[in-house]
Structure 1
């Protein structure tokens, strides 16, 4: 899943946003790009769902679902909610591996990438139960991870071109602290743990997490507090563009034991922004109140939502009747003065009707199908929005098999057995994992 925004403006999709390399004594910040999450779905012009991520023995299946009743991304009331749901699931993007949870992982690779400046987000987490592992972090853009564009993005983590910076990483098994971190292969990695003043309950409140990045230093902040200042002048990493990641992992090496009573966990994000230094103001943060550079473009969104029998769905059942893919445009819902065109791919029987693409799924084999919508303007020849959507089609036998699997005694016992370790063993295991991670491996998500 992905989309592309082509506009003849200074900052279009995929634009590299470069911050000034140093700040003056009285320098402030100026917003170059900001994601306010003020629509009603994920802006896929800025983000991709990294559905193929499968690291650290985690137990979730990452999805691209921002529209169904079991959605893992909810954009509403001006914030993004990444929601992990307890749901035994044959994960289609991981070869139908059985996963115990679904969740979300967004990255801005190839869409919004940054070199130096201040990157900031306002975040709160909704849960203190054990087993969760949310993070706001960055990777260099030549890493061999989805989406693969083929633009020399074939570097393995954590080599130069695939370095990692963790702005905020929290796991509920050590809830009083969070981690800032950066990894590379030359021995200049560092992990710093910040202790919340009020303990674990602080993670339930809104905080601004930020980093300021130059070729020489990386400084980490929570609100107005400097957490850590690191010399990276000798590091081979952190000299190339990086992209942002927001995700909620479950279990695994650092998420650890999951509270068996936990059914849902939520990471909430108010905004994400990138700023560069300026002498025109004295702003100390990079947020929604920070002045912009005057060329900041509006984040128009072309959204595609799938309905079957008038109900939003994340998977099409071949036995349940007509399917409709509806297109909406955040700037003008009625699409007046715009032209919408569709590419239905392998859905050869699909027909266009108004702002929708309709088809009968009854004769389709199970699998994934991609539809593409393109929006152009009658008033602006340079305006073009393209949105892709991957449809999962299942027949009745597939759905019955999944239901049998999720309710079988084996799957039930597998879920309940995750809590069999004693609390003492868990604590020792987690301590060993942290030591091993810091001094021998590093952990990627």
Structure 2
């Protein structure tokens, strides 16, 4: 009889044990996907018509997220940007020019539960000018756009010039910025020139930069149109990255250098190509960089001649500022013509597009 009672009691004990486990509360309840709710992403590309199926070029997209349980949302727009919001209705503007597909990822949260959904959209963004200097006012370069790097030593390149802010070395005249490199004794240096930059006034992350310029021909001259990472003061060079849109040396007439410098690829080990153009020193030409998260492309007179593959591990995914200068001699400029007295580097305009 006692054995029978023990056998009958065993199922009851098991039931109580299970009941006890199921009624207990976990101290660290995990976030779980909410499969009972729905999440719908509606995306309206502004200006879409039969003729403009991917929008009017503004890049504006109106979003409406429908969820019957979400109280907050995390939105990944597919261009590297993220939004956290408590409303499902908002507008976002894509800025990288061209027609591109963006993969949208939305997570809706409600307490410890979440729901995820994705959607792909195609957006056309027209290229538009965001900054320029046409050099159309005679006198000193526009101080609201340009500052000067001053001094001697060539910033590690052993150049003999002293960079000044005098009108003798940089002046706007007849719609052109003229940088004059002069052989003269000045504050201990034997040459003077100018180096203008926009670090205090303008920088950009991605975009198209177009310079139109005519280059000096004298042996030893080293004109350059280029860009540096805005974080150079904190991380130094080459960690900040350098984009040389155009370099030319008078000792290699009409040979255009376009180069990228970054850790492991600095100095003479930079990534780039050269191109010969027979009239670089006698005619104006356009020198362009089209800089994106995926690629950096270099053009001369709208003809592509070098493509570099960019990626997130490189320093070319942050703000850069513009530089225009003309050095002389040094490690790259080389031997200076003993009969050199002066040269002129002419820049017709600088135009920057999104």
Q: Give the TM-score taking structure 2 as reference length.
A: 0.63
Residues 274-314 of structure 1: per-residue CA shift (max 9 Å, x gap): 101xxxxxxxxxxxxxxxxxxxxxxxxxxxxxxxxxxxxxx
Task: Say if 2:290 is the partner of 1:192.
Answer: no
Q: 1:252 to 1:226 in 2, by over 3 A?
A: same
Hey, what does 2:80 align to over in structure 1? Answer: none
Task: Say if 2:195 is the partner of 1:120.
Answer: no
How many angstroms does 1:158 deviate by? Answer: 0.7
- Of the candidates 263, 271, 274, which is equivalent to residue 341 of structure 2? 263
- Which has a greater percent of strand? 2
Hey, what does 1:165 align to over in structure 2? Answer: 243
Task: Say if 2:33 is the partner of 1:33.
Answer: no
CA distance in structure 2 between the partners assigned to 1:181 and 1:59 by the alignment: 23
CA distance in structure 1 between the partners assigned to 2:311 and 2:200 by the alignment: 26
Task: Say if 2:103 is the partner of 1:23.
Answer: no
Hey, what does 1:103 align to over in structure 2? Answer: 193
Q: 1:180 to 1:88 in 2, by over 3 A?
A: same
Residues 20-71 of structure 1: per-residue CA shift (max 9 Å, x gap): 33521876521111111111221111111100363211010000112xxxx1
Task: Tell me which moved more, 226-235 or 23-32.
Answer: 23-32
Matches within 5 A, 1:198-209: 198=278, 201-209=279-287
Q: Which runs of 5+ in 1 are unaligned?
A: 1-17, 91-97, 145-153, 277-445
Whether the 8 Å contact between 2:96 and 2:125 is mirrored in structure 1 is: no
Task: Say if 2:204 is the partner of 1:134.
Answer: no
Whether the 8 Å contact between 1:39 and 1:76 is mirrored in structure 2 is: yes
Residues 200-249 of structure 1: per-residue CA shift (max 9 Å, x gap): x4332100101101111100001121011110115421111000000000
- Of the candidates 231, 255, 279, which is equivalent to residue 177 of structure 1? 255
Task: Say if 2:244 is the partner of 1:156.
Answer: no
Hey, what does 1:363 align to over in structure 2? Answer: none
Whether the 8 Å contact between 1:107 and 1:246 is mirrored in structure 2 is: yes
Higher-RCO chain (CA-CA 8 Å, sequence separation at least 6): 1
Residues 144-166 of structure 1: per-residue CA shift (max 9 Å, x gap): 2xxxxxxxxx221011xx21000
Q: 1:235 to 1:89 in 2, by over 3 A?
A: same
Residues 341-398 of structure 1: per-residue CA shift (max 9 Å, x gap): xxxxxxxxxxxxxxxxxxxxxxxxxxxxxxxxxxxxxxxxxxxxxxxxxxxxxxxxxx
Q: Which runs of 5+ in 2 are unaligned?
A: 1-92, 101-123
Kindly name which structure, 1 or 2, has the bigger radius of gyration based on alpha carbons: 2
Task: Say if 2:333 is the partner of 1:220.
Answer: no
Whether the 8 Å contact between 2:145 and 2:198 is mirrored in structure 1 is: yes
Whether the 8 Å contact between 2:176 and 2:346 is mirrored in structure 1 is: yes
Q: Secondary structure at the match of 1:203?
A: coil
Residues 121-174 of structure 1: per-residue CA shift (max 9 Å, x gap): 11002x322110000000011112xxxxxxxxx221011xx2100000001111
CA distance in structure 1 between the partners assigned to 2:186 and 2:202 by the alignment: 31
- Of the candidates 153, 156, 160, which is equivalent to residue 59 of structure 1? 160
CA distance in structure 2 between the partners assigned to 1:274 and 1:164 by the alignment: 17
Q: 1:263 to 1:139 in 2, by over 3 A?
A: same
Equivalences, count = 233
How many angstroms does 1:88 deviate by? Answer: 1.3
Q: Secondary structure at the match of 1:202?
A: coil
Whether the 8 Å contact between 1:86 and 1:263 is mirrored in structure 2 is: yes
Task: Say if 2:180 is the partner of 1:79.
Answer: no
Q: Secondary structure at the match of 1:254?
A: helix
Q: Give the TM-score taking structure 1 as reference length.
A: 0.50
CA distance in structure 1 between the partners assigned to 2:340 and 2:165 by the alignment: 22
Hey, what does 2:232 align to over in structure 1? Answer: 143
Matches within 5 A, 1:273-312: 273-276=351-354
How many angstroms does 1:74 deviate by? Answer: 1.5
